[in-house]
Structure 1
Amino acid sequence: MEENKDLRDEEILEEGNTVEENTEATENEEVEEIIEEYSETDDLSMIRKLKDENKKLSNELDALKDRLLRLTAEYDNYRKRTAKEKEGIYTDACTDVLKEVLPVADNLERALAVDGNVEDIKKGVEMTIKGFLNALEKLGVEEIDTTNGFDPNVHQAISVVEDANLNTNDVAQVYQKGYKKGEKVIRYSMVTVAK
């Protein structure tokens, strides 16, 4: 009897183990199904999110491309406009200078056409030079001063002389007058400097 009881106990244990194993197997299958369903759902939502993100980035890229094209076109227009303005400024500046200088040329032509003595011609040339200097003054051009001694920033020394009557670096002689407009030197004065 005891043997029968032991056999029954073993059978019951085996049945319990089998039930447990079956329960575990069933639970594992259910978990796997849930994971599989979740993965499919998760993959779909991930795909949707990626598609939305891709569309968003594509729109952003298109907007940046459009902006770049517009900026490039604006820069090209700006470059052309400034080149045209620069050319216009140069033309206007030349016109302003020529308006002031042309009367001097007219006076020189008249002086050549006049018959007269040397004194009359000399007087006409002096008046023409005065008109020319007035034109330079209107344009803001002034003669470079040589009375304050040699200045290498505005004078060009072409020779050096020893002269007891002059101090060192005094200008002994001016060969060609220099001119400047504001601080910009147009032509340096060519001078001889005392030693």
Structure 2
Amino acid sequence: MSKEEQVKVEEQSELIEENVEEEKVDKDQDVNEEEKDENSQEDDLKSQESLVDEIKSENEKLAKEISRLDNENQTFKDRLARTVAEYDNFRKRTVKEKEGIYTNACEDILKEFLPVLDNLERAITVDGSVEDLKKGIEMTIKQFSDALEKLEVEEIGADGEFDPNVHNAVMHVDDEQYGKNQVVEVFQKGYKRGDKVLRHSMVKVAN
């Protein structure tokens, strides 16, 4: 083998070794890249699993909160239903009590005036003088007044100055012997119960 051939063979050998080394380096790089990809995929998978766990945990918390709110809502509904029922019962009871009070009041009034009616009926069936009839009427009026007194109904006074709260002036007169706005005469008596005027007195007033 000539020297030139020997040099070529050596060069080819070196070239082959370089190629082999490059291929080895490339393979090592590929292996490293694959390992990196695998590690990256594992990290991504772990991250996704962690995210799923967080979502599950949040969903469980939300489910518990929804259950709690549902229970509170049902409690409020039950309370509202009871309150409405209690109010309705109270309203019915109040109406019934008012009706009872009104009925009892009417009964009390009628009980006081029935004896007056009895006396009036007896008066027109009994024969007697005018004086006897007058006495009977006076007794009936007294009995009627007693009944009003028991019901706390009192006659409105007509003496003194005119009071528009209790008097109704149906006539005016110029008379110097009376003071201005003084009640001169009563045409119809007025009555009140406490501060409530049942009927104003019809009066004549001096100007």
Name the SS for the 1:49 alignment partner.
helix
After superposition, residues 1-195 of structure 1 pair within 5 angstroms as: 25-195=37-207
Name the SS for the 1:116 alignment partner.
coil
Instruction: Tell me which amino acid in the other structure corresponds to 1:89.
Output: I
User: In structure 1, how many angstroms separate the alpha carbons of the residues matched to 2:194 and 2:103?
Assistant: 21
Instruction: Tell me which amino acid in the other structure corresponds to 1:63.
Output: T
Name the SS for the 1:167 alignment partner.
coil
Q: Which has the larger radius of gyration?
A: 2
Instruction: Encode CA deviations 1:3-60: one digit per residue, 9 max, x unaligned.
Output: xxxxxxx99x999987886676455434322220111101111111111111111111
Instruction: Encode CA deviations 1:138-165: one digit per residue, 9 max, x unaligned.
Output: 1111000111221001111112111121
Tell me which residue corresponds to 1:7.
Answer: none
Percent identical pairs in the alignment equals 54
1:72 deviates by 1.4
Instruction: Tell me which amino acid in the other structure corresponds to 1:139.
Output: L
Name the SS for the 1:192 alignment partner.
strand
User: In structure 1, how many angstroms separate the alpha carbons of the residues matched to 2:160 and 2:180?
Assistant: 12
Name the SS for the 2:184 alignment partner.
strand
1:193 deviates by 0.9
Q: Aligned in 2, Cα 1:20/1:153: closer, same or farther, shift over 3 Å? A: farther
Q: TM-score, normalised by structure 1?
A: 0.86
User: In structure 2, how many angstroms separate the alpha carbons of the residues matched to 1:25 and 1:94?
Assistant: 101
Instruction: Tell me which amino acid in the other structure corresponds to 2:88.
Output: D
Q: TM-score, normalised by structure 2?
A: 0.81
**162-171 or 23-32: which moved more?**
23-32
Consecutive unaligned residues in structure 2, runs of 5 or more = 1-21
Aligned-residue CA RMSD (Å) = 2.7
